[in-house]
Amino acid sequence: MQTSTLKHLAIIMDGNGRWAKERGLSRTKGHEAGAETIRGITTYCASHHNIETLTLYAFSTENWKRPKLEVEFLMKLLDRYLKSELETYIKHNIRFQAIGDISVFSKSLQKRIIDTEDITKDHKNLTQILALNYGGRAEITYAVNRLIKDGKNEISEDDISRALQTPYEDIDILIRTSGEERISNFLLWQLSYSEFYFTPTLWPDFNSKELDEILNNFKQRNRRFGGL
């Protein structure tokens, strides 16, 4: 029986707003519930399925188009999440890293992100990457410009892979919650040979049982990477 190995799992966490609306709650309550799901899924991944890297789409370059108050809330929630999560990162030996352009965030939030990266940099169990003000096209463009600045005049695929902000294994599996079936400018380069799973479950309702089902299905998939 074919068993695909799983090193890098990526998730587009979608549906917080609809989850809140279904309950007559404000969207912010949906995001708070979404942050709880991040905590549960991350700690679960740290001790199951031998996953090395979990990359989560937390804030896209397009999310600035949301109402100012919602954006401000998401920034505060991120700060609160990282502050309270430090204990979990230490307890479960989880490394935290951010990708995306965080230079536009407040100085205090940038410091929180960088400090959390520093404190957890030697943790080996799982790397949790949060994509923050992230866009896949921006990441590729930035990588190419960096190579040009370094004096390269002919650029290979390996050069680009190495110059990306996410110099990790390609994504084995991408999950998107809430029934939407789009990539939304997430990890365009790294998803080339990924398996895709779209679930109607709204992100705050997503749990380790459903993750198990998806990952067990993934392990049976025959990934050919273009071969036979």
Tokens representing 34 are 């979404």
Binding mask 9-28 for ligand FPP (x = CB under 6 A): ----xxxxxx----------
Q: Which amino acid belongs to residue 204?
A: P
Q: Which C-beta is closer to ligand FPP: that of 132 or that of 147?
A: 132
Integer Cα distance of 227 and 209 in angstroms: 32
- Closest separation in Å from C-beta 59 to ligand FPP: 6
CA 53 to chain centre: 9
Task: Please give the C-alpha separations between residue 23 and each of 30, 122, 172, 197, in angstroms, as whole numbers.
Answer: 9, 41, 34, 26
Binders of ligand FPP among residues 44 to 103 (CB under 6 A) are 58, 63, 77-78, 81
Residue 96 contacts residue 117 (beta carbons within 8 Å) = yes
Q: Is 50 one of the catalytic residues?
A: no
Q: Is 14 one of the catalytic residues?
A: yes
Catalytic site residue from 16, 50, 63, 150: 63
Binders of ligand FPP among residues 182 to 221 (CB under 6 A) are 203
Query: Contact with ligand FPP (CB under 6 A): which of 41, 51, 129, 130?
Result: 130
E strand or H helix at 84 = helix 68-91
Query: Contact with ligand FPP (CB under 6 A): which of 10, 11, 34, 166?
Result: 34
When asked if residue 135 is in the footprint of ligand FPP (CB under 6 A), the reply is no
Those residues with Cβ within 8 angstroms of residue 211's Cβ, 6 or more apart along the chain or in another chain: 41, 44, 45, 175
- Closest separation in Å from C-beta 134 to ligand FPP: 11
Residue of 40, 89, 102, 143 lying closest to 11 (CA atoms): 40
Binding segment (CB under 6 A) for ligand FPP, from list 30-38, 112-120, 148-156, 160-168: 30-38
Residues that bind ligand FPP (CB under 6 A): 13-18, 31, 34-35, 38, 58, 63, 77-78, 81, 130, 178, 203
Annotated catalytic residues are 14, 63
